[in-house]
A and B are shown apart, each in its own frame.
Chain A
Amino acid sequence: MNPMIEIKNLSFAYTKDNMVVDNVNLTINKGEWVTILGHNGSGKSTLSKLMIGLLRAKTGTIKIDGLTLSEETVYDIRKKVGIVFQNPDNQFVGVTVRDDIAFGLENLQIPRETMIEKIDKYAKKVNMQEFMNKEPQQLSGGQKQRVAIAGILAMETDVIIFDEATAMLDPKGRKNIYEYMKELNREGVTIITITHDMKEAVDADRIIVLKDGRILRNDTAQNILKDQETLEQSNLELLLPLDVLYSLEKENVNHDALKEYLWQSSLKG
């Protein structure tokens, strides 16, 4: 296994007595899909901001693809790690869709022809090629989020963090974005998703559960999703079929076929 992200003894606090990220140790491998779960305020988003150098750690180190994050390397790190945030309105910086996708590329100082090529390619990928000259106020939330993703895709980073990137979208928009994530992962991009949606966690290779800034669990998706105690501690819910299954078992209900069916459906999310 080749590590893509290595986090050692990472801590961060906004105020003196309140550790938001508390001595986190975590390795994420190349091409892995990792989901970070946790209650509101568990430190999920802070951790993601630390990973791209938007916040500076109090102690500890972060290595991305062998490169240690520091003030000197932060711009090189951002060529390796991209992030999509929850609220599309907070991340639309261009005047038009084309400008917005171009924004990150402009900072990389690549030749104009290459840039135009990339913009077109990634606009097409998120199915926004017909909206290139539209302004943000003419787009729906889902469309804006797709533009934000195209901007990140155009950077061709090795890692993309989706920080509750689908929380504000309608079900159709959510499914669309989720399909992109899967496709990217198949193409070898390391994916980190931060979510409350258990159905989004089912396909992860691994789930990290954060609680009060610490890693509570680090295990396969299967093992976490069936662990009622861990989920309850983190304000999360069991997937519905599992929840029903456990309650039947508690009451000693005998119906093996039904129980097997509930178990199988929970694996599908």
Chain B
Amino acid sequence: MAIEFERVSHQYVGVDQKGYLAIEDIRLNIRGDGELIALIGETGSGKSTLVQHMNALLQPTQGRMNIFGIKVDNLTKKRKDVKLTPIRKQVGLVFQFPEYQLFEETVEKDIMFGPKNFGASEADAREKAREIINVVGLDESYLSRSPFNLSGGEKKRASIAGILAMEPDVLILDEPTSGLDPLGRNALLEVFNTIHETLNTTVIIITHDMNTVYEYAKRVLVMREGTLVYDGDPLKLFSKKNIDRWNLDKPEVLALAQDIENKFDIHFDTPPRNKTMLKDALKEALK
């Protein structure tokens, strides 16, 4: 198991000294062998607090975690003998709007920063940058360009390349596609699919987009008021009961497929997960 949550709670203490329980009694296991997980929940449900525990940016105030063999609990910070640095390399966290964190003169230098920070030589880091830029769907000509002259989607890819260059076993992305146009969004989602399939990296995406969840995720986690209320198959998540009690948006493809089944004499044997599957299934059914 790559990351284990053992009854983890986290309490923030506000300016008024009042405690606020952001996550509560979380039990969760993340494997490090290339899962693609979607993490959903309303604003304020504890998603960000949860993922910040995964690379020990935050530590439990109750319960404990095991992150790649390193035990983390409320005493970890005080102990001098526990080094958290290896965790930061194994679990890469990409914040929302990572493009604001680009700072070097060239894309290449920006990508090299992480590996060098973790002890890679100049030559190795440069080699890594060359390798990784293709994975995120940019070509090598981008390496010499200034990150500040790129489009929104290109900046996002460059900043994700910077995290990938550290070769994390788990890559966590906080709303990676917000602000992108549909074409840019789809291209980036394909990049994540490639990363999880070819590099065997476990990818965890925080998203509000149920279409993304339904089409790409193999597993979905639902946070609600600080607790983990669902951990399982995305295809089984969108029952009427769950939609009502957790205030979920139905994925568009699912909603349309169900409407068509209800109104017409058409039945889909396997539920289509994306629009290509829906179109093909319809053509097949109407042949």
Contact = CB atoms under 8 A, between A and B. Distances in A.
Contacts, number: 88
A104 interface: no
Interface string B150-161: 011100000000
Given A41-B152, A138-B14, A196-B181, A240 B264 contact: no
Interface residues of B, number: 36
Given A142-B43, A257-B264, A235 B183 contact: yes
B121 interface: no
A6 interface: no
A167 B179 contact: yes
A265 B43 contact: no
| Size range of the chain A interface in the assembly | 35 or more
A248 B14 CA distance: 57
Given A39-B183, A40-B180, A258-B260, A135 B43 contact: no
B237 to A, nearest CB: 15
Nearest to B280: A247
Secondary structure dominating the interface of A: loop
A260 to B, nearest CB: 11
B184 A251 contact: no
B179 A39 contact: no
Nearest to B207: A170
B249 interface: yes
B43 A170 contact: yes
Given A140-B44, A235-B184, A244-B279, A265 B97 contact: no
14 contacts: A40-B153, A140-B44, A167-B179, A168-B96, A170-B42, A172-B42, A172-B247, A173-B43, A241-B256, A247-B283, A254-B286, A258-B266, A258-B286, A261-B260
Interface of B: 14-15, 42-44, 96-97, 151-153, 175, 178-184, 208, 210, 247, 249, 252-253, 256, 259-260, 263-264, 266, 275, 278-279, 282-283, 286
Interface of A: 38-41, 86-87, 135, 138, 140-142, 164, 167-173, 196, 234-237, 240-241, 243-244, 247-248, 251, 253-255, 257-258, 261, 265
